[in-house]
Amino acid sequence: MSGPAGETGTPAGGRALDSARASRARLQRGLEVVVSLVFLGLALRKISFHDLWAALTTANWLWLIPCVLITIGLLLLKGWRWQLLFLPEHRLPFKPVFVALCAGYLASNVFPARAGELVRLVLLVSDQPVDAARTLSTIVVERLLDVLTLLALMVALLPFVDLPPWMRSSGQLLGVAALVAAGLIVLLSFWKERLLALAHVVLRPFRFLDRPGVYAAIGHLIDGFATLRGRLGLILVGISLLAWLAVVVEAWTAAVAVRLAAPVTAITLAVVVTSLGMVVPSSPGYIGVFHYLVTVALAPFGVPKEMALSFALVWHAANYLTLSGSGVIMLWAHGTSLGQVLARWRNRDLPVGRV
């Protein structure tokens, strides 16, 4: 429709849509804050603040030096893994991949709604000749590798940890499910054409999904799964395992710093539980959720809650500050900021064909 009514109707509709989006964003941020506060309250419940303060004030802070260095090494290792996930179609330089990765961790620490994945996608797509669908597929496969590795670590721990029956049975069930899922994913990567044909049949009745971009994204995701086959797949699995073992060592240095006397199995369980628990919506940096899960993971080992919480506070702070600082430095070296990266996404200010 033309004329004044049509001209004024479109901006009004746009404003209504923007208002609805803003309301949803505020609701989500409010929910995340509430969840963090609830878990923080659970972490502090029945705590002796005198004992907590004593544990923190007697800490050996020199042990945080290796903790920070290991975290930086982990960033380099994860950057290399992400770079390999683009093979064989794209051979991206390491520097832009590493910058985008560090910026993503910084964004996850300061922005709500898991903005880190969006930031690193936009930053890399802006700098390198790779489209968003292919980049997103690498992030999905990366997360899949992490979850499978964590579940494998959890299954390996079961014979050495005295867990409640429900936790033990849950761990065994998840381990079996992980093995089956890994096998199916590798198997599906051989059937790209069949899966795309099936996707056309399933999505054709839905107009908003029956689009070339959707099918291209599905194809890219299958290509991402294909990287897990053969020699490259073994390298990626090895890097993932090495990375998570390094996280265990990083956590162990934080435990030594607060003089926490716990076996390495306890530290490993804390790493697995906190990492898998990050799917819970929470405020940026997983504040509250992270700290409570550490106390839960260490409880079966008889670790006092005050000591477990002091470990959680020190470990989280060292990790948070190192990742955030690395992101700030990399963005400064790149000559951009998080605000500019997010503005590119909001304004769709990306190279044609990359979104």
pLDDT digit string, tens, across residues 233-275: 889 999 999 999 999 999 999 999 999 988 999 999 999 989 8
Helix (H, G, I), strand (E, B) or coil at 293: helix
Is residue 259 within 8 A of residue 59, CB to CB? The reply is: yes
Residues in the chain: 355
pLDDT digit string, tens, across residues 295-353: 999 988 889 999 999 999 999 999 999 999 999 999 999 988 888 888 877 776 565 44
Report percent pLDDT > 70 for the chain. Answer: 85
pLDDT confidence of 214, banded at 50, 70, 90? confident
Whole-number Å distance between alpha carbons of 323 and 152: 25
Two structure tokens written together for 167:
């936790």
pLDDT digit string, tens, across residues 34-48: 877 888 888 888 888
* Residue type present at position 176: V
So where are the chain's domains? 34-346
